[in-house]
Amino acid sequence: MYNGQQPIFIMKEGTQRTSGKTAQSNNIAAAKAVADAVRSTLGPKGMDKMLVDSMGDVVITNDGATILKEMDIEHPAAKMIIEIAKTQEQHCYDGTTSAVVIAGELLKRSEDLVEQNVHPTVICEGFRLAADKAAEIIDAHAISVTPSALEEVAKTALTGKSAGAVKEFLADISVRAVLAVAQVVEGENVVDLNDVKVEKKQGGSIRDSSLIDGIIMDKERVHSGMPKLVSNCKIALINSAIEVKKTEVDAKIQITDPNMLSQFLDEEENYLKSLVEKIINSGANVVICQKGIDDLAQHYMAKSGIFAIRRAKKSDMEALSKATGGKIVTNVDDLSSTDLGAASKVEEKKIGDSDMVFVTGCPEAKSVSVLLRGGTEHVVDEIRRAFDDAIGVVAVAHEDGAILTGGGSVLAAISRDLRSYAEGIGGREQMAIEAFSGALEVIPRTLAENAGLDPVNTIIDIRKAHSEGKSTFGVNVYDGGVADMKIANVFEPSRVVEQAIQSASETAVMILRIDDVISSKSSGPMDAGDFDGMGM
């Protein structure tokens, strides 16, 4: 009651409101729960998660972004943490788990500061200063990329995944694929990964995977009378139907004489024959059509020894244009020899239980394909996710030209430098920078935990090594203790670490600034305890 009067309700019934420290602790608890859900997947000794959706479909993976995407999460603060993983995946392809774990640790340490009556905005300011300083430190530790280093970057990304046993094999494919499509634009390396087409087929072993200097299509020739293999190919790319044209509006043709019917059918036949003759006259011996091909046209093409595919995807047509140098023609009447693409071989092969078409030997291929194989569907899916990470980090490293040593070495070095930096900062922001510095050590600590090592001893060993000027020393997950990551060839692109720290700190700042949660759902209060299972 206010002065004897009724209280005024400004929100509708069923609306729930949590404010002050309760709101903050709930949000932090939810964020920590998300970080803990993926923490055990980090590093070479990380474990996998099995995710089963409402339809019963199973995904087995240790890719942080995939795990969080598949989890059915309700809490708004937890969803903000998932956004970190999505952003990391889009910009850097790898480091999703690291980014989420760092964000969770930042919030955990900031909670301790809030309990010591450090104001959230002071913590936020300290975190911003620390993140900016961390970016400078990363630049100081960056190493220039060499061709051999690209392969090591790919191997590091593949270590700890299902593909780890064949990481040398897949790393080689990913580096060759990136270098095949890389271009120099205004003096800078640019890699468009859309030019690397990845097809996956179950059956066979992972080592049956291959890089093709051309395009693979999950299609088969349209007529059994066509050759299975064509050499010295002149390829016509047509995106209109090789069929009798239908009228745009409804129309009726009245035929009163049987001779008229035969003339009408003859005219259709002649039209299709003329279309095929135009293709033959252009010099084409392979036709890739985006639309349909009439049965009669298929027959004429087969008689002329032309290899044809119909209903090709638009993306395949564009990739073929880049790979073969051919132009996509809308009207067959306009087709000429200058529009044709070139390839040394077009072949239909049986892969697994279906036929696929391989367009190979393209002289100036600006587009390549990778065929990934594996024993079962789940294996192939996880190999695909691992390969996407590997090819992504190779592309990022090639574009930026800068890499860092892995194994938690750079984060430990940043942590050490931030501690020194904090001493020169006055006010309570110093406490926030120190908390930020301590939070970055969560990565080497988690790597040690997941490898069954003593995390405290490992952190002490790393700090000792770094105090002696050995800034490239990180966690040795195989033999325990620490090792020089430069000698062990453990590298990752600098963009991966920089983006992980920036997005983790920005999201932590955003969550810390929330002191009021108003929910219009009437499904019950959002307690952090509701999110321990996280839909797993």
* CATH number of the domain that residue 299 is part of: 3.50.7.10
Catalytic residue, from 18, 66, 96, 507: name it.
96
Return the closest-CA partner of residue 237 out of 298, 304, 322, 305: 322
Catalytic residue, from 18, 41, 63, 446: name it.
63
Q: Which among 337, 364, 391 is the end of a domain? A: 364
Q: What pLDDT shows up at residue 127?
A: 92
Asked if 28 and 111 touch (Cβ cutoff 8 Å), the reply is yes
Q: What whole-number distance in Å separates Cα of residue 259 and Cα of residue 253?
A: 14
167 in any annotated domain: no
H runs (alpha helix) in 159-291: 167-181, 258-281
Q: What pLDDT shows up at residue 413?
A: 92
Q: Radius of gyration of the chain from Cα atoms?
A: 30
Domain match, 409 and 510 both: yes
343 in any annotated domain: yes
Return the closest-CA partner of residue 335 out of 240, 243, 246, 268: 240
| Burial class of 384 by CB neighbour count within 10 A (0 to 12, 13 to 18, 19+) | middle
Domain match, 219 and 356 both: yes
- Over residues 444-458, mean pLDDT: 91
- Over residues 442-453, mean pLDDT: 92
Q: Which among 364, 395, 423 is the end of a domain? A: 364
Structure confidence at residue 412 as a pLDDT band (50, 70, 90): very high
Domain that holds residue 266: 215-243+260-364
User: Between helices 76-92 and 377-400, what is the axis angle to 10°?
Assistant: 70
Catalytic residue, from 18, 97, 472, 507: name it.
97
Q: What whole-number distance in Å separates Cα of residue 32 and Cα of residue 24?
A: 12
Helical (H) or strand (E) element with 38: helix 21-39
Domain match, 135 and 24 both: yes
Active site residue 266: no
Q: What pLDDT shows up at residue 521?
A: 60
Domain match, 54 and 105 both: yes
Give the domain CATH number at 81: 1.10.560.10
Condensed to tens digits (0 to 9), the pLDDT of residues 238-284 reads 888 887 766 566 667 677 777 766 666 667 778 888 888 888 888 88
Q: What whole-number distance in Å separates Cα of residue 536 and Cα of residue 522?
A: 24
Active site residue 446: no
266 in any annotated domain: yes
Condensed to tens digits (0 to 9), the pLDDT of residues 110-126 reads 988 888 888 888 999 99
Condensed to tens digits (0 to 9), the pLDDT of residues 292-343 reads 888 888 888 888 889 999 999 888 888 888 888 888 988 888 888 888 988 8
Q: What pLDDT shows up at residue 532?
A: 47
Long-range residue pairs from 451-457, CB within 8 A, at least 24 positions apart, any chain: 451/43, 451/44, 451/45, 451/475, 451/477, 451/478, 451/480, 452/45, 453/477, 453/480
Q: What pLDDT shows up at residue 533?
A: 44
Structure confidence at residue 536 as a pLDDT band (50, 70, 90): very low
Domain match, 412 and 331 both: no
Catalytic residue, from 195, 389, 417, 461: name it.
389
Question: Which of 2-6, 160-164, 301-305, 350-354 is most confident?
Answer: 301-305
CB atoms within 10 A of CB 449: 18
Domain match, 132 and 25 both: yes
CB atoms within 10 A of CB 233: 23
- Cβ neighbours of residue 328 under 8 Å, at least 6 residues apart? 237, 238, 239, 290, 317, 318, 321
CB atoms within 10 A of CB 182: 16
Return the closest-CA partner of residue 217 out of 202, 201, 238: 201
Return the closest-CA partner of residue 238 out of 294, 338, 298, 311: 311
Domain match, 232 and 335 both: yes
Domain match, 328 and 226 both: yes
Domain match, 130 and 271 both: no
Q: Is the pLDDT of residue 11 over 80?
A: no
Pairwise pLDDT comparison (425 vs 12), residue with the higher score: 425
Q: Which amino acid, one-letter code, is at 55?
A: M
Cα–chain-centroid distance for residue 43? 18
Question: Tokens in use for 264?
Answer: 């009408």
205 in any annotated domain: no
468 in any annotated domain: no
Domain match, 237 and 130 both: no
Q: Is the pLDDT of residue 534 over 50?
A: no
pTM above 0.85, yes or no: no
Return the closest-CA partner of residue 485 out of 422, 428, 421, 409: 409
Domain match, 222 and 283 both: yes
Q: Which amino acid, one-letter code, is at 270?
A: N
- Over residues 504-533, mean pLDDT: 68
Q: How many domains is the chain built from? A: 2
Structure confidence at residue 197 as a pLDDT band (50, 70, 90): confident
Q: What pLDDT shows up at residue 103?
A: 92
Asked if 392 and 193 touch (Cβ cutoff 8 Å), the reply is yes
CA distances from 367 to 70, 309, 400 (A): 31, 19, 21
Active site residue 139: no
Q: What pLDDT shows up at residue 1?
A: 46
Active site residue 454: no
Domain match, 431 and 350 both: no
| Burial class of 69 by CB neighbour count within 10 A (0 to 12, 13 to 18, 19+) | middle
280 in any annotated domain: yes
Cα–chain-centroid distance for residue 5? 59
485 in any annotated domain: no
- Cβ neighbours of residue 196 under 8 Å, at least 6 residues apart? 177, 178, 180, 181, 367, 368, 369, 370, 391
The per-residue pLDDT of the chain, averaged, comes to 84
- Strand ranges, E, within 365-519: 368-374, 402-405, 473-475, 482-484, 491-493, 516-519
CA distances from 373 to 62, 167, 510 (A): 19, 14, 43
204 in any annotated domain: no
Asked if 505 and 106 touch (Cβ cutoff 8 Å), the reply is yes
- Over residues 514-528, mean pLDDT: 61
